[in-house]
A and B are shown apart, each in its own frame.
Chain A
Amino acid sequence: MRVLGLDIGSRSVDAVWLDDSRIVDWAVADSGFDPGSAAAAFVDRCAHDVIVSTGYGRHAAKERFGGTAVTEITAYGTGAAVLFPEAASVLDIGGQDTKVITLGHGGRVTDFEMNDKCAAGTGKFLEVMARALGYSLEEMAECALEAEAGIAISSMCTVFAESEVTGLVHRGEDRARIARGLHDSIAKRTLGSLKRVNAQGPLVFAGGVAKNPAMVALITEGFAGEVRVPDEAEIVGAYGAALSAAVE
């Protein structure tokens, strides 16, 4: 059976094509202002028997393309558990939200926590801060990693933190150290969430932000157990969604 897993997120639309649970292809596109069209292009690209959608656009996709929908929580849990059968928990930092998930027997989700309203400490937050500091996302992560010590950033709200960063820039603070401070504060907040759900290692760190080497380093340093990062961290949701069809 060929299954297409679609993860229609706030920043990217990800697709994974499975043939009997084996990945035959995958692709990533920008969500832009019309994520439906990006998804439609994937739907038309290869033949498939079933579509499973996840992410913010899951219900719209289900309506448009048919198939079924699962939440990102279940999708990331399933995907991470198949990639790393020994995984006990999952951290997914995406474009607009952060999820921490604990896994039980057979990769079943046993508990989770997700930020509720705002995009504090997510991919979107990093994008806004990179712009405020005049970095690309890659440069910001690199400089943050190299900076010796961060400058403490007290606000996690994207709007307030941007003002705070602007204030620090105007005071003449080193922007690499500001970048480090921003990463430190996201890591601290994320580690707090992991503690609240009592997440154990090995932890699978997935989602777009897992491609940020500074975040990976800080989470690895602060988390009590082992941290694993998949090669293609972004597509774990689409992969998990596709796998959930196979499970059913």
Chain B
Amino acid sequence: MSDQSVDYHPMWAELGLDLPSHDALLGAVGQLFGDAYLTQENRPKGMDYLNFVLSEVHGLRIKELDDFRKAGGKVFGTFCLYVPEEIIRAAGGWCVGLCAGAEFAYDQVEQIMPRNTCALIKSFMGFKLAKVCPYIESADLVIGETTCDGKKKAYELLGEIHNTWVMELPQMKRPQDLEMWKGEIRELVKKAEEITGNTITAESLRASIKEVNDKRRALQRIAAACKADPAPISGKDRLLATQVAFYDDVPRFTQMMNALADELDQRVAAGEGVAHKGAKRVLVTGTPMALPNWKLHDIIEKAGAVVVAEEMCTGSRYYQDLVDENAATLDEMIDDIAEKYLDINCACFTPNKGRIDDVVRMAKEYGADGVIDYSLQFCGLYEMESNGVESAVREAGLPVLKVTTDYSMEDVGQLATRVEAFLEML
């Protein structure tokens, strides 16, 4: 997976990684990436950058974090998009998403948590326990959030072995909840200042709001290009862009994604696509797909369809809303951040009608022929919302396939049959 000319093993050893397990993991991810991504035809040239980033996911990027930390910088690890990157960056820190998208060391995880815990939680704990995630080992602080019961309890366990801080996210969106959430963001401001030793100023926060908004704008451009038929980029590639957004260097990533978006605009203008015009178009909604979870997209696209949009945390929820850029004071900026983040439509809220509206609206905007509702097994929140999504989409005149799965490959055959049959039905 890494540049052969550089041996990162000493760096990994210094971070405390378990080298044999880590090598095995990188080998597996490399193979997965090769099978899912490098077999694709007619990819945009701009994907070379993401191929490179992925090939150096535990190499060059970790080296950058390492250099940053050695120069006194602080790294903050997060699992969820409710943690405002703007605050961390305004304090001079860097934010990285943590590994949670592959089955690893479940045997160790199941000694401390129940078997019937969702794959996302088991995965991050497995990566930590097996010492194979250089991101968490580079994180001076892990910031968790109370987005579900499983995560809440998992962060208690993580807190025993890693410096962890948990933000309380409200479960409703009433005015009093917003006030509470603003308080939580202000606590994060203090925490980020304490860890970095820097003070967040109106100038630094204004700059980071702009910077993170620009990243979202670049992703919005990539998404918007997929309204065209044929879609200029595969769903898998677009998903990878969103996944990489969580941990890549922000200004560089934004620049490269704008270049990719320029290319996509040209492809759309030239009528060039990844699949033929008229290929079946699918909207995917549901639980986040953390890197390297490409399972469902891979099945859908190998069956000849194109995923044209993701209504998920590794999709529209990550980039569709921007923080207001017109605030004058630090306090106003913090309030704006709180409002923007509370607008995200996660199933941890009640009610969460906004998500269903988004699914139906996006299905129309992106010209989807059908919707696949994806839940990780044991993710009670998304599994519970599944029926509501199904009826709303059906009412809008589109077919729905509900899929509950995990990171294992044991159900790939049956899943492929269901997805292919769904596509044949469209």
Residue positions of A touching B, CB distance < 8 A: 56, 70-74, 97, 108-112, 114-117
Residues of B within 8 A of A114 (CB): 414, 417-418, 421
* Chain B: CB-nearest residue to A71: B421
Contact A112 B421 (CB under 8 A): yes
Bound-state Cα–Cα, A108 to B399, Å = 14
Contact A109 B418 (CB under 8 A): no
* Chain B: CB-nearest residue to A76: B421
Residues of A within 8 A of B405 (CB): 116
Closest 4 CB pairs of A and B: A73-B421, A71-B421, A74-B424, A71-B420
Bound-state Cα–Cα, A110 to B400, Å = 11
Contact A73 B424 (CB under 8 A): yes
Bound-state Cα–Cα, A100 to B403, Å = 16
CB within 8 Å of A: which B198-247 residues: none
Bound-state Cα–Cα, A108 to B156, Å = 52
Q: Indicate whether B413 reaches chain A with its CB closer than 8 angstroms.
A: yes
Write the nearest CB–CB distance from B82 to chain A, whole angstroms.
30
CB within 8 Å of A: which B393-426 residues: 399, 403-405, 410-411, 413-415, 417-418, 420-422, 424-425
Some 7 contacts from A to B, beta carbons below 8 A apart, are A56-B413, A71-B417, A73-B417, A73-B424, A114-B418, A115-B414, A116-B414
Bound-state Cα–Cα, A115 to B413, Å = 12
Chain B contact residues: helix, strand, loop or mixed? helix
Residues of A within 8 A of B403 (CB): 116
Write the nearest CB–CB distance from B211 to chain A, whole angstroms.
43
Residues of B within 8 A of A112 (CB): 418, 421-422, 425
Bound-state Cα–Cα, A108 to B413, Å = 23
* Chain B: CB-nearest residue to A109: B425
Residues of A within 8 A of B410 (CB): 117
Write the nearest CB–CB distance from B424 to chain A, whole angstroms.
5
Write the nearest CB–CB distance from B258 to chain A, whole angstroms.
39
* Chain B: CB-nearest residue to A115: B414
Residues of B within 8 A of A111 (CB): 399, 425
Bound-state Cα–Cα, A123 to B229, Å = 43
Bound-state Cα–Cα, A73 to B411, Å = 17
Residues of A within 8 A of B415 (CB): 116
* Chain B: CB-nearest residue to A114: B418
Contact A110 B414 (CB under 8 A): no
Contact A70 B424 (CB under 8 A): yes
Bound-state Cα–Cα, A97 to B418, Å = 11
Among B411, B413, B417, B424, which residue has its beta carbon within 8 angstroms of that of A109? B424
Bound-state Cα–Cα, A71 to B410, Å = 19
Contact A71 B414 (CB under 8 A): no
Interface core residue of A71, A74, A109, A114 (most chain B CB under 10 Å): A71
Residues of A within 8 A of B411 (CB): 116-117
* Chain A: CB-nearest residue to B421: A73
Known contacts A73-B418, A74-B425, A112-B418; 13 further A-B pairs (Cβ under 8 A): A56-B413, A56-B417, A71-B424, A72-B421, A108-B425, A109-B421, A111-B425, A112-B422, A114-B417, A114-B421, A116-B404, A117-B410, A117-B411
Write the nearest CB–CB distance from A52 to chain B, whole angstroms.
12
Residues of A within 8 A of B414 (CB): 97, 114-117
Residues of A within 8 A of B424 (CB): 70-71, 73-74, 109
* Chain A: CB-nearest residue to B403: A116
Bound-state Cα–Cα, A109 to B413, Å = 20
Residues of B within 8 A of A73 (CB): 417-418, 421, 424-425
Bound-state Cα–Cα, A108 to B410, Å = 30
Write the nearest CB–CB distance from B400 to chain A, whole angstroms.
9
Write the nearest CB–CB distance from A23 to chain B, whole angstroms.
23
Bound-state Cα–Cα, A115 to B415, Å = 10
Write the nearest CB–CB distance from A29 to chain B, whole angstroms.
21
Bound-state Cα–Cα, A111 to B421, Å = 9
Residues of B within 8 A of A116 (CB): 403-405, 411, 414-415, 418
Bound-state Cα–Cα, A111 to B300, Å = 18
Bound-state Cα–Cα, A97 to B415, Å = 12
